[in-house]
Structure 1
Amino acid sequence: MTEWAAKRFWTGATVTEAETGYGIALDGRAVKTPAKMPLAVPTRALAAAIAAEWDAVGERIDPRAMPMTRSANAAIDKVAHQHGEVADMIAAYGGTDLLCYRATNPQELVLRQSEEWDPLLDWADSALGVRLRPVTGVMPEAQDPAALAALRARVHAHDPFALAALHDLVALSGSLIIGLAAEADARDIATLWQVSRLDEAWQAELWGADEEAEDMAAVKRAAFLHSKEFFLLLGEASAPSTPT
């Protein structure tokens, strides 16, 4: 059975118990990922959310309307087989974290960046034991190797499902610290998205909003909020262990 069949062929979707957690069945037939792996997730809550997406399908399947299914597929088919590479890619954001690259002018933007970004760097220092240093300008400057190593260890401690969600939080915001803060509930998720869009918001205030850019930002925001919801449904099952 292929997951992305064009037309709906089932009556109902149910959650089942699987060897590796919880699966989803369509009229008793187990759902598989695009790579033909069992679609099994760590928590019943996530499986129930995926089953609800399948139950909500109309006459034809639209993968864009099934974000929980797509994220689970990515974790199983891609991240699980490339865990180290994906973790390294995410951890690399720490070396060029959005929160560390500050404007030199105008003073109003400099002040706004400091007011909104410094508290998150302080949170990383107190909660994660990692201090990243703000720099001015756009040229990369090396961060403390020990801080980057600690961030890398923390990222690698995530299981494939949590890593898939963290990847999107970090890639969409441009900040490893924002991604980890979202995972840890350090700030409201909508606020964190706004913080990541500070520079874009500033430009829009100066020159007016661009409709196409606003539409793209709305799509990214929805994906950012979805990734946090995915974390919530994973619960404790995918919480990263404390790096040693």
Structure 2
Amino acid sequence: MSEWKAKRFWTEVHVVPEDAGFGIRLDTRPVKTPAKRSLIAPTREFADAIAAEWDAQEEKIDPLKMPFTRTANAALDKVAVQHREVADMLAAYGDADLLCYRADRPDSLIARQSEQWDPLLDWAETALGARLRPRTGVMHIAQDPAALAALSVRVHALGNFELAAFHDLVSLSGSLILGFAAAEDVKPAPQIWDISRLDEIWQAEEWGRDDDAEAAAEVKKAAFLHAKRVFALSQ
């Protein structure tokens, strides 16, 4: 039995100003989220990206080809109703940030981690008011509570759409600092993604590529770059 899919019923897609942002109309019908909330984007550019996805649908609607719509749905149906919980979860990454867990050998990996990760920790101290300290090994050592509090305030200050995008920037990279660095354009997003995969890249250079792992990483990279685009369009 074939899976049922909704069919396109509209002729034109319109972006319309709303009190809280910009809505999308399919002919005269407003787009709703799965929870039946009005899909209102925070900026015209974000609304245009959503509208383009709906306009590109052919006979049958394929949600997998609508990443901006899916992110907007998550921002409105999930993040908006549990903003504090999502922000708390992401802020907690600071106490176990990827950039702070360093190898104890070999020297080539130690040097590469220091070269690529230390400048971002320095940037976080200056730009975010939070100094996180690197540790050798994988055992957890708590970070300075004052630094974590400063980072938490910044996470909680993000709007619903920003936080939805920030969730993927942090969770995919494994680093709160890299999430902020991507959001603040400290480096190009593809470069930040590679920095988050420093260990995997080094291992591939030493031992050879794992095609399955590389394919999975490419999927995650695409999601990371999409999240960066969403964050930018949300402002």
% identical aligned pairs: 65
Q: 2: CA distance between counterparts of 1:108 and 1:169?
A: 27
Q: Quick one: which amino acid aligns to residue 234 of structure 1?
A: S
Q: 1: CA distance between counterparts of 2:14 and 2:212?
A: 39
**Offset at 1:158?**
0.5
Deviates more, 1:30-39 or 1:52-61: 52-61
Secondary structure of 2:80's counterpart equals helix
Secondary structure of 1:38's counterpart equals coil
Per-residue CA deviation, residues 211-243 of structure 1 (Å, 9 max, x unaligned), is 1111110110000000111112112xxxxxxxx
**Offset at 1:154?**
0.7
**Offset at 1:33?**
0.3
Q: 1: CA distance between counterparts of 2:225 and 2:113?
A: 22
**Offset at 1:19?**
2.5
Q: 2: CA distance between counterparts of 1:166 and 1:224?
A: 9
Match of 1:147 in 2: 147
CA-based RMSD of the aligned residues comes to 1.1
**Superposed counterparts of 1:80-159, under 5 Å:** 80-159=80-159
Per-residue CA deviation, residues 101-159 of structure 1 (Å, 9 max, x unaligned), is 00000000000000000010010011111100000000110100000011111100011
Match of 1:242 in 2: none
**Offset at 1:5?**
5.6
Match of 1:240 in 2: none
Q: 2: CA distance between counterparts of 1:140 and 1:81?
A: 32
Q: 1: CA distance between counterparts of 2:114 and 2:91?
A: 23
Q: Quick one: which amino acid aligns to residue 142 of structure 2?
A: A
Per-residue CA deviation, residues 46-89 of structure 1 (Å, 9 max, x unaligned), is 00110001011122211121111011000000000000000000
TM-score, structure 2 normalization = 0.97
Q: 1: CA distance between counterparts of 2:134 and 2:49?
A: 40
Match of 1:26 in 2: 26
Q: Quick one: which amino acid aligns to residue 34 of structure 1?
A: P
Secondary structure of 1:81's counterpart equals coil
**Offset at 1:91?**
0.2
Match of 1:54 in 2: 54
Deviates more, 1:9-18 or 1:152-161: 9-18
Q: 1: CA distance between counterparts of 2:172 and 2:94?
A: 14
**Offset at 1:197?**
0.5
Match of 2:68 in 1: 68
Match of 1:205 in 2: 205
Q: 2: CA distance between counterparts of 1:64 and 1:213?
A: 22
- State the number of aligned residues: 232
Q: 2: CA distance between counterparts of 1:62 and 1:228?
A: 23
Q: 2: CA distance between counterparts of 1:103 and 1:90?
A: 24
Q: 2: CA distance between counterparts of 1:5 and 1:79?
A: 27
Structure 2: which 5+ runs fail to align? none
1:178 correspondence with 2:181: no
Per-residue CA deviation, residues 25-54 of structure 1 (Å, 9 max, x unaligned), is 001100000010000011111001100010
Q: 2: CA distance between counterparts of 1:203 and 1:8?
A: 47
